[in-house]
Chain A
Amino acid sequence: MIASHLPVLQVILPLIAAPVMVLARRGAIAWLLALIVSWAGLFISVALLARVADGSVISYAIGNWPPPWGIEYRIDRVNAFLLTLVSLIAAVVVVYSRLSVAAEVPREQQYLFYALYSLCLAGLLGITSTGDAFNLFVFLEISSLSSYVLIALGRDRRALVAAYQYLIMGTIGATFIVIGVGLLYLMTGTLNMADMAVRLRGVSEVRPVLAALAFLTVGICLKLALFPLHLWLPNAYAYAPSAVTALLAATATKVSVYVLLRFYYSVFGESVVFSALPMGQVLLVLSLAAAFVASTVAIFQHDLKRMFAYSSVAQIGYITLGLSFDSATGLTAGIVHLFNHALTKGALFMLLGGIALRLGGVRFEHIGGIARVMPLTSFGIVLGGLSLIGVPATVGFISKWNLILAALESGAWWIAFAIVLSSLLAVVYVWRFVEAAYFREPGAAVAKIKEAPLEMLIPAWLMIAACIYFGLDTTLTVGSAAQAAATLLQGTR
């Protein structure tokens, strides 16, 4: 009986937990509740993934209003994969967050932190599960509004300005998305995405549909921080509390990529997106620009968190590069990199949180010789960095390999060359950490500190271990991504 309600349950649980936390007003109770709902979410999404593995689609009618009139939750192989990723990251980060939040957030605000964390999780899972375009916008705003506050909780006062800038740009993005959805609603008279796709084929007036496509693309790309719409991201990631950075870097932008995929392939259809407008070329140019420009900017940062934030912009470029090829191989590469990058960046930001906890900051001039006192943390960051570069036996290599396969398949060998060349830029910024951590003498402040607590190390190292494991055994990740890509592509034909 409860099994049939699983698609909505994982969204409802954190949504209900948040006000309960606010009423309880106790940090410890709030953390326990967040732990329970995050892990429940993980079990539910794994169960859903198992149920749709054969290619079936679960359709859940909220309040028993049958679609397309009521709001439908629609789980297929694509979003089951994303749900598993988001709830996995959330479940690992919540374990990690207890000590990190205790150190970085004032005691009387901690219960509010976990309430917002749950709301953000509910929003992200809601965006991923829903089959209704307007419902998607509402969940997008739930997750965005809570993440603005989470970022503003950072200790540095620049966190406030970063949150404000993110609020302005995020709201403009969300409003562009509503305009796009509104135009689609005017043309089709429906908000259900599956129904919209069917009715769009009968629409003879193409121009408003293309306008909707343009508005949605710009709005979603603002949210996923595609170069040059990434300006909100570096400061937001750099000044947010460590647990927030780990969660947002690994999930928020990835869910936005999913939204883009959903609209491109399941609503508009591949042929409209890639032949009526030159979307492939636009994405290709912007993705390569992201990979080169953001990686170069990352090299010159003084703060490790900011450096890895710029690296995120570059890595998002690789994800959209996969989409721009408009082929099954390219789409698979994009989805695989989405998963792999979430693991890598989640782990890296969690390890940086350990340094921030012990040292109070992660600027390059302060971390000299840190590998002597925090060997496990430093080695983890090096392994994560190798994955960003794409060294064999890490997940990064699998992503780059698939991307290069897709580039060669499309006949553009120079793109494959550009992918390798931009990876060399990652070598430079990862080497800067190695040089500072391993080859400098520890200063007085560094010599006094000790290794990060196990409660923070173990979750981070689990993710690093996953980076290595999925770099060696790709049946699960590449297999799921290939299936997801096939599901997306067949939705249009």
Chain B
Amino acid sequence: MNTAAHFSYWITIFVAIAGLYIVIARGNLMKKLVGLAIFQTSVYLLYIAPGKLIGGTAPIVAEQFRIYSNPLPHVLILTAIVVGVATLALGLALVVRIREAYGSIEEDEILEQDETHSTDITSKQA
């Protein structure tokens, strides 16, 4: 188990923890989404990197090539990227709506507004 051989895993772990840290530590709803996107990106690396063989080519059967890289992780991650894009788009759309409703995208300001106004809103509804 040496560090150089597991280089891509170290990068993956670093990116994952960095992303997760941003989600937890930042109160800005936008920055949280950025952190979430970084966290998801680390998974792409986790899947793609082990599929590559040094000297391997695309899996097209031809006489001069003997070693092929595994194409399946690419297909899986293509799907995961689509899911990630959809999640990010939906998250940003929600942030736009939250900003329209609260006039802020800072988590603490939004929670403060909910605490002070919660009684007014319900009395309006009833």
Contacts and interface: CB of A to CB of B under 8 A. Distances in A.
Contacts of B114: 158, 161
Q: What bracket does the count of chain A residues touching chain B fall in?
A: 20 to 34
Contacts of B87: 141, 145, 167, 171
A172 B20 CA distance: 8
B39 A157 contact: no
B97 A152 contact: yes
A164 to B, nearest CB: 5
Interface stretch (A175-183, A288-296, A426-434): A175-183
A191 B39 CA distance: 22
A166 to B, nearest CB: 10
A359 B47 CA distance: 52
Contact of A157 (B32, B33, B102): B102
B18 interface: no
Given A168-B32, A172-B36, A361 B46 contact: no
Interface SS of chain A = helix
B52 to A, nearest CB: 13
Contacts of A175: 39-40, 43
Contacts of A141: 83, 86-87
B120 to A, nearest CB: 12
Contact of A161 (B23, B91, B98, B125): B98
B94 A138 contact: no
B77 to A, nearest CB: 10
B39 A148 contact: no
A138 B79 contact: yes
Interface in B57-81: 73, 76, 79-80
Interface string B83-117: 10011001100110110011000000010001000
A146 B83 CA distance: 12
Interface SS of chain B = helix
A267 interface: no
B74 to A, nearest CB: 13
Interface string A8-21: 00000000000000
A185 B43 CA distance: 13
A93 B121 CA distance: 28
A155 B121 CA distance: 11
Interface in A127-148: 134, 137-138, 141, 145, 148
A152 B83 contact: no
Among A138, A175, A361, chain B packs the most CB atoms within 10 A around the CB of: A175
18 contacts: A138-B83, A145-B87, A149-B90, A160-B97, A160-B101, A161-B110, A168-B23, A168-B36, A168-B91, A171-B40, A171-B87, A172-B39, A175-B43, A178-B43, A182-B43, A182-B46, A360-B125, A360-B126
Given A179-B43, A186-B50, 16 more contacts: A134-B76, A137-B80, A138-B83, A141-B86, A145-B86, A148-B90, A160-B101, A164-B98, A167-B90, A167-B94, A168-B32, A168-B33, A171-B87, A179-B46, A182-B47, A361-B126
